[in-house]
Structure formats: C-alpha cells, structure tokens
Homo-oligomer: A and B are copies of this chain.
Amino acid sequence: VTGGPISFLSDYGLDDEFVGIVHRVLAAHAPGVPVVDITHGVAAHDVRAGALTLWRAAPWLGPGVVLAVVDPGVGGPRRGVAVEVAAASVVLVGPDNGLLLPAALALGGATRAVELAADPIPGRGATFAGRDVFAPACARVATGADLLDLGRPVDPDTLEGDPVPAATVGRDGVRGEVLWVDRFGNAQLSARPADADHLGPSLVLRSGGRQWPAARAAAYAELAPDQVGLVTDSYGLLAVSLNGAPAADRLGLARGATVWIVAGPDRSGL
C-alpha cells in the first residue's frame, strides 16, 4: 500500500491529550502524510460500536492506512495487528479484538496480517498502545514499509470478531436490529431497502412490545409531523426516522434492539 492518508478512529475522546499526542507521533514518524480524524467519540471501551463505525466509514478509507483503537485489553494478551486488504489498498492497524474485522470484510477481506511487537518502553507503562505501538506501525506503512517488516505473520482467518448481521427476510416481515443511533436520532437498521420491498409502501414497525405505522421515504422532508419513516440512509440501509425530530429517542429504540417491519393494514389506516 502506498499513498493515501492515515485515517484515525478511537474511543479516546477529545478532552484529554491522547489524540493530540498520537498526531504528534504520526507527524514525527511520517512527516507530510495527512491524518484524517474519523471520530474519537466512540463510547469508552465499546469495541462493537467502534467496529460498526469503522464498517460504515470503510468505503471512504481507501487507499490509505487506518489507525483504529478501542482497546480495553491494552497491555494484556490480546494481539496488536496490522491487516492488509489488498482489494481496497488499505492496511488496518489496531487491537485484534473484533474492532477491525467488519471493516476488513466490507473492503474485500483480509489478505495478509501480522502481529505487532509491543516491546516495553523504559519508564512508561503499557497502557497507551495507540501512541507506542499502533501509531509508529501506521507511520511505517504510510512511509513505504512492507507489512511483513512490522511483525510476525499470522493467518488472516484467525482475526477476532463478528461480521455485521444481515436482516432476516420472510414473506410476512423483516426482522432486523438497530445497528446505530446517529446524532440526529435516526435508528439505522440491519435491513436493506430491497429486504422490505415486497411488503409494500404502508408498513408497521414493531419493537419491544410496541408498534407504529410507518412509511417508506427518500428524505426526511417527505414525512408529515410525527409520521414514522423508513428512510434509505446514506449508507444504503433502512433507518427509522422522523422529520426534524430524534426518532430513536421518541420511539425508545436503542442499539441492539430488535425491530420487525411488517406489511401495514392496506391503506385502511391504523
């Protein structure tokens, strides 16, 4: 992999100096290589949330290097890895704890991987691998090192993690999961628009013992006030939305919730 910026995602937040120090390490080891912050607002230690964020961003990350750190097991037995996805000209660097796998799969699947050495640094603890292990490895890749220069080869099929689930599509309905609630309160489902096409335009959503009539829509602006919409979102998935209001809050939909989409009562109203 050559060329492309370093994209950086973490759960470090922006209130401490963690992100800034990593940027300084990258600037020192890979001067002139642009660094793009994807987000550092992943909830602390929420590996799955980080994995899904990276998975959504994946189509925009290549060519380039990806530094991803949500790492509650830092300093422990979990491996640090660099994972090449040749099809996308991407190398993902971070802990092997499930954070990287969904993005690697979305980009075409890991072609090579190495385990990064994590030698102790005299006088400092082992709790900041982003600074001491992953950022230097990213800088080496970004400045032309081959993956095999970074560590011991490991079988890409041994990488940890679960893929992003697909919805279950049946004749009478679609069973999906809330993958993400965004800043605006849209609840992204694991269902794709085509999954629900056979159910017609008038739908009912069910979750947690409650249900709402819902309409397919191409934009929030098509929805009447308080009308629940199933909008095709910018990642090509269905999202539960309201026009100008946070749907997830209003309907009580949290990440991981099961949502059923079923056919509505055929224009008779609810």
Give A residues with C-beta under 8 Å from B.
5, 7, 9, 11-21, 23-25, 27-28, 34, 36-42, 44-45, 53, 56-57, 60-61, 72-78, 123-128, 131-132, 182-184, 186, 218-222, 231-236, 239, 244
Is the beta-carbon distance between B220 and A127 smaller than 8 angstroms? Answer: yes
CA distance A133 to B1 in the complex (A): 29
> Can you identify 22 A-B contacts, CB atoms within 8 angstroms?
A5-B24, A7-B24, A9-B17, A14-B40, A15-B41, A15-B183, A17-B57, A20-B39, A23-B36, A24-B38, A24-B60, A45-B244, A60-B131, A72-B221, A75-B221, A76-B222, A124-B234, A125-B231, A125-B235, A127-B220, A127-B233, A127-B239
Choose among A45, A183, A222 the residue with the greatest number of B CB atoms under 10 Å from its CB: A183
Q: What's the minimum C-beta distance from A31 to chain B, rounded to whole angstroms?
A: 8
Choose among A20, A28, A45, A222 the residue with the greatest number of B CB atoms under 10 Å from its CB: A20
Choose among A18, A76, A183, A234 the residue with the greatest number of B CB atoms under 10 Å from its CB: A234
Note all chain B residues with C-beta closer than 8 A to A126: 218-219, 232, 234
7 closest Cβ contacts across the A-B interface?
A76-B221, A75-B219, A15-B41, A128-B234, A20-B38, A125-B232, A24-B60
Q: What's the minimum C-beta distance from A12 to chain B, rounded to whole angstroms?
A: 7
A32, closest chain B residue (CB)? B34
Note all chain B residues with C-beta closer than 8 A to A56: 17
Q: What's the minimum C-beta distance from A199 to chain B, rounded to whole angstroms?
A: 18
Is the beta-carbon distance between B7 and A221 smaller than 8 angstroms? Answer: no
CA distance A119 to B236 in the complex (A): 15
13 additional A-B pairs beyond A7-B24, A14-B39, A125-B235, beta carbons within 8 Å, are A12-B183, A16-B41, A20-B36, A24-B36, A24-B38, A28-B60, A45-B244, A75-B222, A125-B232, A126-B218, A127-B219, A131-B234, A132-B234
Is the beta-carbon distance between B12 and A74 smaller than 8 angstroms? Answer: no
Is the beta-carbon distance between A123 and B218 smaller than 8 angstroms? Answer: no
